[in-house]
Chains A and B, each alone.
Chain A
Amino acid sequence: MIKVASAVVLCAFVSASLAAPSALAASPPTVDKIVAKYVAARGGLTKIRSVQSLRQKGHVTAGPNQEGVVMRELKRPAHTRFELKVQGVTAVFVSDGKQGWRVNPFDGDAERKPLSDEVVAEAAEQGDFEGPLVDWKAKGHKVELAGQEDLAGRPAYKLKVTLASGGVRYDYIDVKSMNLVRTETTRQVRGRPVQIQATFGDFKKTDGLLFPHFVEVAAAGRPNTLRIDVESVEVNPELSDARFAMPASAQKPLP
Chain B
Amino acid sequence: MKKLFPILVLFVPGVLFADEVYLKDAGSISGRVVEQDETTVKVDIGGGFISVPAARVERIEKGRTALDEYEERAAKLGPKDVEGWKTLARWASKQGYSAQAREACQKVLAIAPDDADARKALGFVSLDGKWVTLEESYRAKGYVKYDGEWMTPAEAQAAQAADASDRAKRNAEYRANAEQNAAVQEQARAEKRAEQEQYEKEKAEQLNPPVYWGGWGYGASSWPTMGTDGFWSDK
A109 on interface, CB distance cutoff 8 Å: yes
B174 interfacial contact with A, CB 8 Å: no
Q: Which of A54-112 contact B (CB under 8 A)?
A: 59-60, 62-70, 72, 80, 82-95, 101-112
Q: Which residues of A contact B113 (CB under 8 A)?
A: none
A217 part of interface (Cβ distance < 8 Å): yes
User: A residues within 8 A CB of B123?
Assistant: 63-65
Does A197 sit within 8 A of B, measured CB to CB?
yes
Residues B162 and A64 in contact, CB atoms below 8 Å apart: no
Residues of B within 8 A of A191 (CB): 162-163, 166
In the complex, identify which listed stretch (B71-79, B143-151, B180-188) lies at the interface while the others stay far away: B143-151
Contact with A along B75-96 (1 / 0, CB 8 A): 0000000000000000001111
Would B98 and A223 count as touching, CB distance under 8 A? no
Contact of A91 among B27, B154, B232 (CB under 8 A): B27
Cα–Cα distance between A182 and B226 once the two chains are bound (Å): 33
**Nearest-CB distance from B95 to chain A (Å)?**
7
A192 to B155, CA, bound (A): 11
A121 to B211, CA, bound (A): 16
A86: chain B residues within 8 A (beta carbon)? 96, 98, 223-224
Residues of chain A within 8 A of B155, CB atoms compared:
220-222
Q: Is there a chain A Cβ closer than 8 Å to B24's Cβ?
A: yes
Nearest CB in chain A: distance from B121 CB, A: 7
Query: Are A190 and B147 in contact, with the CB atoms below 8 A?
Result: yes
Residues A82 and B219 in contact in the complex (CB < 8 Å), given A87-B97, A88-B65, A224-B209: yes
Q: Is B159 an interface residue (CB 8 A)?
A: yes
Contact B99 A87 (CB under 8 A): yes
Bound complex: CA A229 to CA B150 (Å): 24
B218 and A223 within 8 A (CB): no
User: Are A68 and B96 closer than 8 Å at their CB atoms?
Assistant: yes
Of the stretches B4-12, B49-57, B189-197, the one at the interface is: B49-57
Q: Is the CB of A93 within 8 A of B220?
A: yes
A220 to B150, CA, bound (A): 11
Q: How far apart are the CA atoms of A183 and B226 in the complex, in Å?
A: 32
**CB of A209 within 8 A of chain B?**
no
Contacts of A107 in B (CB 8 A): 231-233, 235
Chain A residues near B121 (CB-CB < 8 A): 64
A62 touching B211, Cβ below 8 Å: yes
Contact across chains for A222 and B149 when beta carbons are under 8 A apart: yes
Pick the contact of B226: A62, A87, A91 (CB < 8 A).
A87
- With both beta carbons as reference points, the residue of chain B lying nearest to A100 in the complex is identified as B219
Can you offer 27 A-B residue contacts whose CB atoms are under 8 A?
A64-B120, A66-B98, A67-B98, A88-B29, A89-B45, A91-B220, A104-B219, A104-B220, A106-B220, A109-B52, A109-B56, A110-B23, A110-B56, A111-B25, A111-B56, A125-B215, A126-B218, A191-B166, A192-B159, A198-B216, A217-B212, A219-B212, A222-B209, A223-B150, A224-B149, A224-B209, A226-B214
In the A-B complex, the 10 residue pairs with the closest CB atoms? A64-B123, A93-B219, A221-B155, A217-B214, A88-B30, A198-B214, A106-B224, A92-B26, A247-B25, A221-B152
Q: What is the interface of chain A, defined by CB distance below 8 A to chain B? A: 59-60, 62-70, 72, 80, 82-95, 101-112, 115, 119, 122-123, 125-126, 183, 185, 187, 189-194, 196-198, 215, 217-224, 226, 228, 247, 249-250
- What 14 additional pairs, Cβ within 8 angstroms, besides A107-B232, A189-B212, A191-B163? A65-B101, A65-B122, A87-B97, A91-B219, A103-B23, A103-B27, A110-B56, A119-B218, A190-B147, A192-B159, A221-B154, A224-B209, A228-B216, A250-B24
